Structure 1
Amino acid sequence: MDVKRTAAGALTALSVTACTSFDSRTFVHDLHGPERNGRDVPVWVQDLDTETLETGLGRPFDLAPDYEYQPGHYTQTVPDYPLEVWDRMRQSFQLGTYENDRVERELELFSGRDAYFDAVGRRAEPYLYYILDELEERDLPAELIALAIVESGFRPFAYSHGRAAGIWQFIPSTGRFFGLDMNYWYDGRRDLIASTDAALDYLERLNEAFDGDWLLAMAAYNAGQGNVRAAIQRARAEGKDPNYWNLQLPAETMRYVPRILAIRDILQDPEAHQVALPNIPNQPRIRVVEADRQIDLALAAELADLSIDRLYILNPGLNRWATAPEGPHRLVLPKENADRFQQELASMDPEDFVEWRRHEVNSGETLTHVANQHNVTVDLLRDINGLRDDTVRAGDHLYVPVSSRPPSEYSLSAANRLQALQNRERQGERREHTVQAGETLWDIARTYSVGVKELARWNGMAPGDTLRRSQELVVWVEGDAMQASGGPSDRTQSVTYTVRQGDSLARIAQRFNVDVRDIKHWNGISEGSYLHPGDQLRLEVDVTQQSSSL
């Protein structure tokens, strides 16, 4: 636990440092805004499915042993302490109950969804005690656990079409702002320790920005602080009390906060809502241990007596076959396995934590060629081998880290999760497309007459993600969409839209079910540009995804 506190403290320091150059009233403006607000249906709307952990493997994982606690046993040892983590959570609820039609609608949707709450509870089981510790230390409401449920359902590899990742669903810009590293080896948005610390930092700041109003803070977590402030100003201009319930916000956010409150009510009294939560004793389930340097995950799993899959489930921030060379080197392990891991690790030579291969540079090879061949980055090769630049010559020898097992055995690495997702059977004929220089998802979607969002989903991407030359994409084509020239079908139409008073790119993107980045691309709009009433925008829209005729 000391390691956990040290790591959390270091990340907090990073966050505070990163924030010092921002104006206090605008520091989170649109951090959850244009990239996700009102444009993409989040994880909690897209999928209430309970069968997978969004790993692409289509099967559940046993995250932790099942416990059938006996009240008598626990009562004798800790009579005044909550027996279950759910009881402890309820004691830390702070927001009260809201009688509101929007909350009632969400309660009707979720009441009786026994299988859903059982799956969410089992996915959350390793994390709940830790998160409650963090909430209690900061005196934050335990309702924020319901926020995480709404954001991701506690799917460790959750990734939304708005480019949000992890149980707290950070988009890249927000994650970087709050000190989360994202690189080839590691994504801090999916790291339980780092992302929880960053999410609570973010929510604390939002709560302070809205004078202690948690409903507004949670709305801003979803829609962006700027959008909520604008809604408050509109409400005041109309003579309304600017509380959450009187604000006109994006449709997603109008459901988001009521859904959190409904989930909270169900967790408060599951029996009244025909739900049974899994038994989770109020005991630590995980420990955070330090390896101090890069370590092969197959070796780490062996030392801890765990499967590699379970190690990935507890450490979903790890993208590859090892921890990142520059760190963090901490691992989250089941409490009962942590001592064994530390003992076995201490008996090893640190040089053996990762295997190394000596590569002789061939004629015509570049550092990039060598990096691609061994699935590492150019920066890593340069650092490991003490190179001042990227110049290598035939006959030079380079040291390269290599995995101890075949790549397929690291089944929950980012590459293998993507492969499993792309190999999932879907309707239609499977096609493979190699990305050409300058191509976008929109270009490829038009070529195959498919929706941009579908194309992105098939390939584990968001519609606004940038493609790499030679990247391999999977496309599922139905019917005769690829006949003749293989060009776009009548599904796609080019329309001209005249900007109205109060319009924003996010609002226009939401209306036409397109991406903000695509609107900028189609119209040559640069960062920092403003829309004006009367401006005309060219939009390429999929007519099958429009709610009304164009």
Structure 2
Amino acid sequence: MSPMKSSFAMALPAVSLAAALLLAGCSGLPVSDEARDEARAPDPVSDEAQLAGPPKPAPGDGTQAERLLSLEDSAPFPDLAVTRHIPVGEAPENNDIWGRVRAGFTMPDYRHHPRVQPHIQWHQCRQDFLHRVTARAEPLLHYILEEIEARELPTELLLLPIVESAYLPFAYSPGRAAGIWQFIPSTGRHFGLKQNWWYDGRRDIHASTQAALDYLQQLNQRFDGDWLLTLAAYNAGQGTVSRAIQRNERLGRPTDYWHLDLPRETRHYVPKLLALQALVENPWAYHVELWPVPDEPYLERVALDGQLDLAVAARLAELDVEDIYQLNPGFNRWATDPEGPHYLLLPADRAERFSEGLAAIDPGERVAWHRHRIQTGETLSHIATRYRTTVAMLQQTNNLRGTNIRAGQHLLVPSATRPSSGYTLSAEQRRSNTQARGPAGRQRHEHVVRQGDSFWALSRRYGVTVAELTRWNGVAPGDPIRPGQRLVVWLPDGERAAEVAAAGPMPASLQHVSTRRQTVTYSVRRGDSLHSIGQRFRVSVADIRRWNNLGNGSLIRPGQRLTLHVDVTNQGSGT
């Protein structure tokens, strides 16, 4: 036996003892955000939700798990998920990407900080989580790492999407944040991420990575190169962090990240990344396992010169349609956006074959075309809905300046080459899949949205919570709903479902309530209490606690933002 093997064998009892002690302590750890995130099912994202980058949650808002609506629990490419194992306790060879990542670490080492240690311990107790996430992220890691290195940024940023989204390309939060970098609509638009019916740049791996790194660099300059403050600002917003610094300056207190009074989520957010830094630096020391990722390009960005049906793209690349969506989650529909971006991310070994095939096909084969004869009573909107396209696309294709059309005329309509079920991860199919899954023992009821409906009013009518209603439909509470939209409600039992069906349309009194109720975000002022806020807005303390997930002993502080559902007809002039 070699001296190395001998010493390792002698150390095994100590390692086993340490592991046993660790496992004994695992039962005392709280259920982590990551564990709840992974338990979520994949969501469909509503059309409106996709028009949204990150309102970061309000101070004191829920955990990361409560923010994420849509998470998958499997690697995007099952054929890649071969068993590759690093024996626990042994240092892996530096022949994969993780050695390169470690070499680029430049952030401070806080592995022994008391706010970092619990997150390290959680991973030690749930070793499967990091293994699953790194396996899922494998196709993206080399591509994103090269973008980080090209800007000479800390390679710890490669781990940030683990904290944000567990590298789930279709992650969507109740705060309307989408994609692996979790941009809300407004921030996404500010950094050039296009969002429309066809495409959401917040989920585009290439575009969102560029935007996230731009945003992080901008924040890092704002906070004089301090990466902990930069990360805090990425999570909570630079205004929140700046105000916390100014408050400490006035009080004569230190202004580093650890001494700032920040929202609860942000107090955990930075330590989570620092825990991942420690685990990736020394996985063998912490007895955790990283998925071995080859240090070689997996993805290549391939240029297109126009709109392309994603089923055609899959055929040319010899991939499943689902694989195309997983690598290009920014596309919402059956085809790429006719206005661009005109590129796809593809496995590097398929890129040349795809480009050759694309050049060889007739331009008319990129999308299917249908000659539609306009029927009496039809509008462009009706026709667009039928063929899963947009009015703007019909106007552009047919050189129409307005929306006036006549029965008997013909329109040239771009259409999908497969039925909608063939585009498994389009927004339509993701929504349908989510709406089909409900709690055991409940009965499915479909509600057609009417003028004046709101999630709050519907929750009151059906006796469910807004959180349940939005989760069942793969949307966020802040998403708009429109007349004619179909929402699924899972009712407690058949008797209740029969009552709802018999009741018919929503009572006019409740419709009136839905239109006069408005959601207000209130910033807590010095001297405020839940009682005084309740009196001011004529709502109960119990409702304020429920709307903001506040426990009975929760304190509120100046600057904290509370969500209130206010009857606007019952407010005084001083509100």
Normalising by the smaller structure, the TM-score range is 0.7 to 0.9
The gaps in structure 1 that reach 5 residues or longer are: 1-30, 48-52, 72-80, 526-533, 537-550
Corresponding residue for residue 64 of structure 2: 42
Residues in 1 aligned to 2:399 and 2:518: alpha-carbon distance in whole angstroms: 53
What amino acid maps onto 1:279 in structure 2? Answer: P
Q: CA deviation at 1:494?
A: 12
Aligned residues, how many? 479
Residues in 2 aligned to 1:210 and 1:502: alpha-carbon distance in whole angstroms: 31
Q: Does 1:344 align with 2:352?
A: no
Corresponding residue for residue 553 of structure 2: none
Question: SS of 1:111's equivalent?
Answer: helix
Match of 1:372 among 356, 367, 385: 385
Question: SS of 2:80's equivalent?
Answer: coil
Aligned-pair Cα RMSD in Å: 3.4
Residues in 1 aligned to 2:326 and 2:368: alpha-carbon distance in whole angstroms: 24
Q: CA deviation at 1:285?
A: 0.5
Residues in 1 aligned to 2:302 and 2:366: alpha-carbon distance in whole angstroms: 15
Corresponding residue for residue 114 of structure 2: 101
Match of 1:436 among 444, 450, 454: 450
Residues in 1 aligned to 2:411 and 2:566: alpha-carbon distance in whole angstroms: 41
Corresponding residue for residue 519 of structure 1: 564
Corresponding residue for residue 280 of structure 1: 293
Corresponding residue for residue 16 of structure 2: none
Residues in 1 aligned to 2:569 and 2:62: alpha-carbon distance in whole angstroms: 22
Q: CA deviation at 1:512?
A: 4.7
Question: SS of 1:180's equivalent?
Answer: coil
Q: Does 1:399 align with 2:412?
A: yes
Q: CA deviation at 1:519?
A: 3.5
Question: SS of 1:206's equivalent?
Answer: helix
Match of 1:270 among 261, 266, 283: 283
Whether the 8 Å contact between 2:439 and 2:490 is mirrored in structure 1 is yes
* Cα offsets for 1:480-521 (capped at 9, x unmatched): 766697999xxxx9999996428799x999965359897376
Whether the 8 Å contact between 2:74 and 2:132 is mirrored in structure 1 is no
Q: CA deviation at 1:464?
A: 0.8
Residues in 1 aligned to 2:143 and 2:529: alpha-carbon distance in whole angstroms: 40
Whether the 8 Å contact between 1:371 and 1:381 is mirrored in structure 2 is yes
After TM superposition, the structure 1 stretch with the greater mean CA deviation from structure 2, 473-482 or 444-453, is 473-482
Question: SS of 1:359's equivalent?
Answer: strand
Match of 2:135 among 122, 126, 129: 122
Corresponding residue for residue 241 of structure 1: 254
Question: SS of 1:436's equivalent?
Answer: coil
Match of 2:160 among 141, 147, 150: 147
- Change in Cα spacing, 1:179 to 1:46, as seen in structure 2 (3 Å) is closer
- Change in Cα spacing, 1:102 to 1:498, as seen in structure 2 (3 Å) is closer
- Change in Cα spacing, 1:286 to 1:510, as seen in structure 2 (3 Å) is farther
* Cα offsets for 1:53-90 (capped at 9, x unmatched): 836xx76542663578999xxxxxxxxx9521111111
What amino acid maps onto 2:375 in structure 1? Answer: N
Q: Does 1:190 align with 2:200?
A: no
Q: CA deviation at 1:43?
A: 4.2
Whether the 8 Å contact between 2:84 and 2:291 is mirrored in structure 1 is no
TM-score for the superposition, normalised by structure 2: 0.76
Q: CA deviation at 1:372?
A: 1.5
Whether the 8 Å contact between 2:444 and 2:490 is mirrored in structure 1 is yes
Residues in 2 aligned to 1:46 and 1:371: alpha-carbon distance in whole angstroms: 32
Percent sequence identity over aligned pairs = 45
Corresponding residue for residue 459 of structure 2: 445
Q: CA deviation at 1:46?
A: 5.8
- Change in Cα spacing, 1:70 to 1:158, as seen in structure 2 (3 Å) is closer
Corresponding residue for residue 540 of structure 1: none
* Cα offsets for 1:122-157 (capped at 9, x unmatched): 111011101110111111111112211000000011
Q: Does 1:62 align with 2:62?
A: no
Corresponding residue for residue 317 of structure 1: 330
Match of 2:181 among 157, 160, 168: 168
Q: CA deviation at 1:380?
A: 1.0
Q: Does 1:426 align with 2:442?
A: no
Whether the 8 Å contact between 1:41 and 1:161 is mirrored in structure 2 is no
Residues in 1 aligned to 2:200 and 2:261: alpha-carbon distance in whole angstroms: 34
Whether the 8 Å contact between 2:374 and 2:409 is mirrored in structure 1 is yes
Corresponding residue for residue 456 of structure 1: 470
- Change in Cα spacing, 1:279 to 1:294, as seen in structure 2 (3 Å) is same
* Cα offsets for 1:343-382 (capped at 9, x unmatched): 1111112221111001111122111121122121111111
- Change in Cα spacing, 1:170 to 1:70, as seen in structure 2 (3 Å) is closer
Q: Does 1:84 align with 2:96?
A: yes
Residues in 2 aligned to 1:383 and 1:127: alpha-carbon distance in whole angstroms: 35
Residues in 2 aligned to 1:282 and 1:360: alpha-carbon distance in whole angstroms: 55
Q: Does 1:211 align with 2:245?
A: no
Question: SS of 1:331's equivalent?
Answer: strand
Q: CA deviation at 1:37?
A: 5.2
Which runs of structure 2 are paired with 1:10-29 in the superposition (5 Å)? Answer: none
Whether the 8 Å contact between 2:548 and 2:563 is mirrored in structure 1 is yes
Residues in 2 aligned to 1:107 and 1:211: alpha-carbon distance in whole angstroms: 28
Q: CA deviation at 1:243?
A: 0.7
Considering only CA atoms, is the larger Rg found in Structure 1 or Structure 2?
Answer: 2
* Cα offsets for 1:447-481 (capped at 9, x unmatched): 11211112111111111110011111111222676
Q: CA deviation at 1:41?
A: 3.4
What amino acid maps onto 1:101 in structure 2? Answer: P
The gaps in structure 2 that reach 5 residues or longer are: 1-52, 87-92, 511-516, 535-542, 550-560
Whether the 8 Å contact between 1:435 and 1:470 is mirrored in structure 2 is yes
Residues in 2 aligned to 1:86 and 1:495: alpha-carbon distance in whole angstroms: 46
Q: CA deviation at 1:230?
A: 1.1
Q: Does 1:301 align with 2:314?
A: yes
Whether the 8 Å contact between 2:449 and 2:483 is mirrored in structure 1 is yes
What amino acid maps onto 2:564 in structure 1? Answer: I
Question: SS of 2:429's equivalent?
Answer: helix
Residues in 1 aligned to 2:545 and 2:228: alpha-carbon distance in whole angstroms: 25
* Cα offsets for 1:81-124 (capped at 9, x unmatched): 95211111111111131132111121122223221111101111
Whether the 8 Å contact between 1:287 and 1:335 is mirrored in structure 2 is yes
- Change in Cα spacing, 1:504 to 1:313, as seen in structure 2 (3 Å) is farther
Residues in 1 aligned to 2:225 and 2:356: alpha-carbon distance in whole angstroms: 46
Q: Does 1:472 align with 2:486?
A: yes
What amino acid maps onto 1:39 in structure 2? Answer: D
Corresponding residue for residue 289 of structure 1: 302
Residues in 2 aligned to 1:494 and 1:318: alpha-carbon distance in whole angstroms: 33
